Copies of this chain bind each other. A is one copy, B any other.
Amino acid sequence: MRPTQIDCAREGKLTLEMQQTMERENIDEDTLLSRVAEGSLVIMTREGCPSIAIGRGASTKVNVNLGTSAVRIDPDAELEKVRIAEKYGADTITDLSMGGDIRAIRASVFENSRLPITTVPIYQTVVECGMKDLTEGDILSYLKAHVDEGVSSVVLHCVEKATLEKLKGVGRVMGMVSKGGSLTSVYMLTNGCENPFIEHFDEVIETLRKKDVVLSLGNTMRSGCIHDYRDGAQLMEIETNVRLAKRANEEGVQVIIEGMGGHIQAAEIPEHVNLYKSRSAFPLFVAGPLPTDIALGYDHIAGAVGASMASGAGADYLCYITPAEHLSLPNPEQVREGLIAFRIAAHIGDSMKYGVSERDLLLAQKRAHFDWGGQIKLALDPDRPGDMCPMTGPCSMCGEYCAIKIMGDYLAGDE
């Protein structure tokens, strides 16, 4: 059996992906080995492509969700989103396709990108087998098919029956808002059974081990509005996910825990990250969070605020939110808006975790000298300034009254 990154780390063997990580993330060998072994740093790999490190000591990473929905099927638009994710600096892509030829769309996502690809296999299972007709066998066989196709990570919603019962009593405004979680729950309720991923967790682990696929434990119980924050159902899910994560880690499978997605009031974000981090060392993946519900059409901005606070407090991996969130499947331009907003958040979060970056200083030095080309090269989205950007000298906000310009001589000591 091929050893996984965790197996190698436990034997003190440095893999090629670990070497890449050491360079990119500036982590020394011993630290890296111990973090990979304990699972606090996960290396997402994809055959023939660069790997991505997520977790303790690594820069905060950003995931882009894309894919058709059941009612919006435009494979060309999805490919355009893949190109945008690649071009504007996404770290990973999650293909959530539920419409059209799902397998063919996934194949073209693979073909047109070099980023690690995540899927939520229950989506395709439900679409192709029917929400009420699918079997345990279907669920496991789609999982295996995705792994065989070379995904880097899969999201499984391991919600327990008892947690579903708990949810019934907590009186939420928004109920359950996780799509994968609800599809898995419908299977459990239809068949009156426990969660199939938990029931067959050994088989799941064995499947993922074979290709060292990262297990992303889904956040079924996330809150759908800030008033639904942190009830008993959420707390039960944290315990379940931490328990399963430990089992997976023991078996040499890398794990990420999705937590704190959805909507949480700003003041509670750092505390919630601390709650997760106090329960386990596994990388924490957050969608948003959104610290307000009223930013309809601007949720990428509300999400960037929440994600800055969350990553600054220790979250490792951010799932972007686009301006179309809660409204529609995003178009390619909205994917770009969401991605850049979350790269800003990751960068701000990193400044809180690791200190201010050299890149900010370099850009400021170019700005001080009206070097517009130099600023653009260092900007998160070099294509955005475009027409706004002057060719030379001060910008059109100040013109000749530019403070930098009129105070430059004095401060340089020339007058």
Contacts and interface: CB of A to CB of B under 8 A. Distances in A.
A285 to B, nearest CB: 18
Interface residues of A, number: 105
A185 to B, nearest CB: 6
B410 A329 contact: no
A308 B291 contact: yes
Interface string A291-302: 111111110111
A227 B364 contact: yes
Given A305-B344, A385-B296, A131 B328 contact: no
Interface in A242-297: 263, 265-267, 291-297
Contacts of A386: 297
24 contacts: A70-B399, A98-B401, A131-B401, A168-B413, A172-B411, A186-B406, A224-B367, A227-B356, A227-B360, A265-B352, A265-B356, A267-B352, A291-B308, A291-B351, A294-B347, A294-B380, A295-B344, A296-B380, A296-B381, A297-B386, A297-B388, A301-B341, A323-B384, A328-B388
A389 interface: yes
Contact of A398 (B179, B301, B390): B179
Among A228, A327, A376, the most chain B Cβ lie within 10 Å of the Cβ of: A327
Nearest to A334: B388
Contacts of A411: 167-168, 172, 175-176
Contacts of A8: none
A117 B395 CA distance: 25
Contacts of A344: 292, 295, 298, 301-302, 305
A340 B174 contact: no
Interface of A: 69-72, 98, 123, 126, 131, 164, 167-168, 172-179, 181-183, 185-186, 189, 224-228, 263, 265-267, 291-298, 300-302, 304-305, 308-309, 312, 323-329, 340-341, 344-345, 347-349, 351-352, 355-356, 359-361, 363-365, 367-368, 375-376, 378-381, 384-386, 388-390, 395-404, 406-408, 410-411, 413, 415
Given A266-B349, A297-B386, 17 more contacts: A71-B400, A168-B411, A173-B364, A175-B411, A176-B407, A177-B403, A183-B406, A226-B364, A294-B363, A295-B344, A296-B376, A296-B380, A296-B381, A305-B345, A327-B388, A327-B395, A328-B388
A380 B290 CA distance: 15
A375 B305 contact: no
B183 A70 contact: no
- 3 interchain residue pairs of minimum CB distance: A297-B384, A225-B364, A182-B403
A293 B364 contact: yes
A398 B70 contact: yes
Contacts of A224: 364, 367-368, 404
B385 A70 contact: no
